[in-house]
Structure 1
Amino acid sequence: MDKTDKAILKNLQKNARMTISDLSAAISLSMPAASERLRKLETSGVIKQYTVILDPEKINKNLTALMFLRFESTCKGEDFAEYAKTEAEINECYYITGDFDYFIKIVTEDARTLKSLLSRIKNCAGLVKTSNLVVLSNIIDNVSILSD
């Protein structure tokens, strides 16, 4: 990946709906060349998908919580990882090192819906310890990987 590919990706991270015409102008490349570069980034899997970033509060998702989980065995953790994929309020799930096995980010309506989800999670087989944090404010929420 060269600097032109990175320029394409930086522009698309800011606006994935950018037209090929605008993209080619932004990176000083002809439209056919920009289109071909973009196609290669898509087919190679560098660009996984195009999506929309929603404002959680505007869709009544007013509470974000973070949770660390430890399991008694690897297979119980793997079962949890599959379970986590079924819970719509679990936005991110990471297998991590350290004192815990998994870290999840939860985005939900309020304390009532968080309590309900935590009850379901705490019923997962083999769960031995959790640590929960409620987010008071979001300081940085950057979904972009490449920066200027």
Structure 2
Amino acid sequence: MNKVDREILNILQLDSRKSYSSIGEVVGLSVTAVKDRIDKLQAKGVFQNFSIKLNRERVGADVLAFVQVAIDRLEDCQTFETEMRNTDSVLECHHITGAFNYLLKLVAPSMAELEKILTDDIKIAGVVGRTETTIVFSSQKDSAFINCVKMGEGNE
């Protein structure tokens, strides 16, 4: 992947609906060359998907929380991971180091619903030892943007 590919990735992260011609104007390539590069990046698995980012409050996901989870027995980690992949309220599930095994990012429409999710979906009986929940009051930065040009410096 060269610098032009990384510039294309940055453009697409900001607006995946950009046309090949407008991308080409920025990076100095023809429409066909841009399409070919995007197709190759997609074939290499660089894109996980094409998506949009929703305003969570406007769709009723008013509560944002991070939950640290400790699993009692390591053999139960697979069960927990499977359950988290199938729980819609869980946006992210990360296996981490430290006093806890997992860090979850989840959303809920209300505090009452958050309590229900924690009780019914997260605290799996016999698997989860303890949890610690942090409620988000506000977010000063909430981005999935990875500056591909910056990440690639020195790697060309």
TM-score w.r.t. structure 2 length? 0.91
Is the contact between residue 70 and residue 127 of structure 1 (CA under 8 Å) also seen in structure 2?
Answer: yes
Structure 1 equivalent of residue 134 of structure 2: 133
Equivalences, count: 148
Structure 2: segments with no counterpart, 5+ residues: 151-156
SS of the residue 2:141 aligns to: coil
TM-score w.r.t. structure 1 length? 0.96
Structure 1 equivalent of residue 76 of structure 2: 76
1:54-93 map, 5 Å: 54-93=54-93
List per-residue Cα deviations over 1:90-145 (Å, max 9, x = no partner): 00000111110001011110101101001112233221121110001011101111
Is the contact between residue 68 and residue 100 of structure 1 (CA under 8 Å) also seen in structure 2?
Answer: yes
Is the contact between residue 80 and residue 124 of structure 1 (CA under 8 Å) also seen in structure 2?
Answer: no
Is the contact between residue 61 and residue 109 of structure 1 (CA under 8 Å) also seen in structure 2?
Answer: yes
The CA RMSD over aligned residues, in Å, is 1.2
Instruction: Extract structure 1 runs of 4+ deviating beyond 4 A.
Output: none
Query: Within 1, Cα distance between the matches of 2:5 and 2:93?
Result: 29
Structure 2 equivalent of residue 8 of structure 1: 8
1:1-148 map, 5 Å: 1-120=1-120, 121-146=122-147
Structure 1: segments with no counterpart, 5+ residues: none
**What is the percentage of aligned positions where both structures have the same residue?**
26
